Structure 1
Amino acid sequence: MSELNVLLEAFKQTEYPLPGHGNRDVKVLQEAFANVADDLESDMYGNGKIIEDFQAKMAAYLGKEAAVFFPSGTMAQQIALRIWCDEKGVKKVAYHPLSHLEIHEEHALKELHQIEPVLLADKSRVIHLEDVVGMDEEIACLLLELPQREIGGQLPDYQTLEVISAFCREKGIKLHLDGARLFEIVPYYQKSAAEICALFDSVYISFYKGIGGIAGAILTGEKAFTEKSKVWKRRHGGDLISLYPYIISADYYFEQRISKMAQYLEEAKELAALYHQCHAVETNPAVPVSNMFHVHISVSKQALEPILLAVYEETGVGLTSYLREVSEKECYFEVSIGDRYGAVPKERVREAFKLLDEKIKAMKE
């Protein structure tokens, strides 16, 4: 068994794993369906009351004219950018160098849609107004990811979003929101989801991240835009005969967790502060701005793994299921707070971090 699997298996066996909502097993679907009527009719190829009602509900919540449910956010975002490029007759879009489209989709925009990306900003920070104003290429659309997941969930300040939005509208550039984690940033900005979305021409949100559903996404904007997206959804094979398992779980967990986002943020801040008390540990951001952050430890991956295994065994508290190597002397992992953290006794958490600090210090001496 690989070292990664050893850590994963040890994490699974802990009594008190800290991140996430819980195991992504069949119980997630069973809970969502527990009170669903037996005679509820399914959707059929993108039509039907169940999908149409949920789309209308999400459009209203996000303050947009219309919304379309997609089986995946990858599909939804490629389609959004294709529509904006076709409308302007320009096959270029701009986004962060660590955007999901750039590093996780096998260059799908270029291969499927012949769209060229323009990469903005340094990899270590979010996009600033100067990056947008300083572009020397014509683009159809600018994509902003809020929060920027690959750099710990960093966010620009709200005023920056407002001035970027105003600039784009003045210059005829469409502004698209990669809002996979939109719900999770609402408490930090102290704005409603609709207020944030008003700055953007199109918005994508996910239902399996902070919400914790099975899968699925919403793409929203003006009705003319969403009608075009339906055509592209069919072209991409996204109109499955039925999507109701995803829709029911999305709606159920949306109702269960949307009111908890402020709690998750405060718990993320609390947990980050505990990491800061440990030797050779930093978080990015230093103070979380959503329910997620990255933990960087100035210890090699090989040296840290047995320390974590010992902490798990002695305290029953699980911190992470994996480590990613930064260099020979540093590794990191991501933390996303969900329902689990609040259920862990505080004394057990403090015990785990005290032991983690002691063991890192002993290893460093």
Structure 2
Amino acid sequence: MGETSEQAGGTDRADRVHEAEQDGEKLHAAGPDGEDVHAAGPDGEKTAQAARRRRLAAWWASERVMVRAPMDRPMGERLAALAADAGSVYDVDEQPDLYGDGIVAELERRVAALLGFPAAVFFPTGTMAQQVALRCWAGRTGNSTVALHPLAHPEVHEAGALSVVSGLRTVHPTKEPRLPTAGEIQDLAEPFGTLMLELPLRDAGFVLPSWDELVAAVDAARERDAVVHVDGARLWECTPHFERPLAEIAGLADSVYVSFYKSLNGLSGAVLAGPPELVEEARVWRHRYGGQVFQQYPAALTALLGLERELPKLPSYVAHARVVATALAEGFAASAVPWFRVHPEPPHTHQFQVWLPYAPDVLNEAAVRQAEETKTALFRVWSAPAAGIRGLSFTEVTVAEPGLEWTAEEVRAAVEEFVTRVLEAHS
């Protein structure tokens, strides 16, 4: 599966569940109103695991899907594929890495060049990379306050690690479900040392600002004597929206973190890129945080494969996601559902949200039945919103290589089949 361990120590299971869902995976089953059945104890855990096994079996057997998540594949198959492919991106007759040299150092060099930075450092998790980056910037600016969105990853998925582990505090320029504007950054009532921008903002629907809005936000932070750090876990797929190369987008910031498992199908791992002095300090803090891992060549190999094979395809995924999103909206508009939302429309990346006015259990049952009965997996996991609004659910749609095969007509037909099962279950 994806790197569900990318959470700080002690992270609540629900947080790990939500982070895993970036690939459509969900490790718990929802009860009638979307509650986590694990709260019911061992019996709930068994029910959740049975539901997960059923979903995985249905997804794996489906002939038509939007994405083939690497976590769906058995370990043996992934290992065999890695052994077969690794030689195409690195000399596998070389010795494995030791504490970050060899192939890990080569990965750092390649990513630094891609992002247009002079240096980069590999981390086992993105959570650790960002904790270290923000801590280092706090020391350099003399201000331990970080301005970021309340839906940003450190606020939602890291169990308060910024304050508990790193001694930092946060302020929010806006609560709107979008990136903060230049005006909001300028009007923030107290000083801050670092502005952190998550591009795209996943929990708001994988949303991005316009290029001019992004430049203005960065300029506003500079006017406040702050540095800018970009949470670029999914930065790889932002180039079509901004119509700029990666290096130009990343170059707006003082430092950038990127992930290898979210869009590039890597096993795990992340890189923090920035000026050499920051990167060298980050290496020291990586050791202190427990990230000086003895050997990481499997993760590094899959990262290199992702850069070689997946990165060039991402623009085509983004383009087709817009086709899929339009067809989904048309399909729901023609159906008997009382309300729906595709957000954002059009999508800013190859991932977006779909909202429906039904409880998660109804939609999850309809989704898995459609996959089992038609071999077509249109949606993966539906969840209740964080606010816990009863009778409302959302899912995240990812369009990857298998999704390119779907025509708009086929999407609309699949929506009709899905809605039929929803109404049957809801009646």
Q: Report the equivalent of 2:81.
A: 31
What do the CA deviations read for 1:188-231 (whole angstroms, capped 9, x no partner)? 11100000011000000000011111011110011111111111
For the pair 1:355 / 2:387, whether they are aligned, the reply is no
Choose the corresponding residue for 1:58, options 91, 111, 118.
111
Q: Report the equivalent of 2:153.
A: 100
Q: Are the aligned partners of 1:92 and 1:138 in contact in 2 as well (CA < 8 Å)?
A: yes
Q: Report the equivalent of 2:96.
A: 42
Choose 210-219 or 31-40, whichever is displaced more.
Answer: 31-40
Q: Give the RMSD, CA atoms, in angstroms.
A: 2.2
Choose the corresponding residue for 1:285, options 335, 341, 344.
344
Choose the corresponding residue for 1:328, options 375, 382, 390.
390
| Secondary structure of the corresponding residue to residue 96 of structure 2 | coil
**1:65 & 1:29 partners in 2: Cα distance?**
33
For the pair 1:239 / 2:292, whether they are aligned, the reply is yes
Q: Output the TM-score relative to the length of structure 1.
A: 0.92
Choose the corresponding residue for 1:295, options 351, 354, 379.
354
**Unpaired runs of 5+ in structure 1?**
none
Q: Report the equivalent of 2:271.
A: 218
Offset of residue 126 of structure 1? 2.2
Q: Are the aligned partners of 1:32 and 1:253 in contact in 2 as well (CA < 8 Å)?
A: no
Q: Are the aligned partners of 2:234 and 2:259 in contact in 1 as well (CA < 8 Å)?
A: yes
| Secondary structure of the corresponding residue to residue 165 of structure 2 | helix
Q: How has the CA–CA distance of structure 1 residues 303 and 175 changed in structure 2, closer, same or farther, with 3 Å as cutoff?
A: same
Choose the corresponding residue for 2:254, options 196, 201, 224.
201
**2:258 & 2:193 partners in 1: Cα distance?**
21
Letter in 2 for 1:32: L
Letter in 1 for 2:78: V
Choose the corresponding residue for 1:341, options 403, 413, 416.
403
Q: Are the aligned partners of 1:44 and 1:241 in contact in 2 as well (CA < 8 Å)?
A: yes
Choose 248-257 or 26-35, whichever is displaced more.
Answer: 26-35
Choose 154-163 or 21-30, whichever is displaced more.
Answer: 21-30
**1:115 & 1:95 partners in 2: Cα distance?**
12
Choose the corresponding residue for 2:67, options 19, 34, 44.
19
Q: Are the aligned partners of 2:129 and 2:270 in contact in 1 as well (CA < 8 Å)?
A: yes
**Unpaired runs of 5+ in structure 2?**
1-46
Q: Report the equivalent of 1:276.
A: 329
Letter in 1 for 2:276: K
- Number of residues of Structure 1 aligned to a counterpart in Structure 2: 364
| Secondary structure of the corresponding residue to residue 113 of structure 1 | coil
Offset of residue 361 of structure 1? 6.5
**1:229 & 1:80 partners in 2: Cα distance?**
7
Q: Which has the higher contact order (CA 8 A, sep 6+)?
A: 1
Q: Are the aligned partners of 1:308 and 1:356 in contact in 2 as well (CA < 8 Å)?
A: yes
After TM superposition, which residue ranges in structure 1, 4 or more long, deviate above 6 angstroms? 361-365
> Which residues of 2 match residues 110-189 of structure 1 at below 5 A?
110-189=163-242
- State the percentage of identical aligned residues: 31
Offset of residue 339 of structure 1? 2.2
Q: How has the CA–CA distance of structure 1 residues 241 and 273 changed in structure 2, closer, same or farther, with 3 Å as cutoff?
A: same
What do the CA deviations read for 1:15-54 (whole angstroms, capped 9, x no partner)? 3232344425433343233243552212211223x22222
Letter in 2 for 1:252: L
Q: How has the CA–CA distance of structure 1 residues 112 and 209 changed in structure 2, closer, same or farther, with 3 Å as cutoff?
A: same
Q: Report the equivalent of 2:36.
A: none
**2:181 & 2:249 partners in 1: Cα distance?**
17
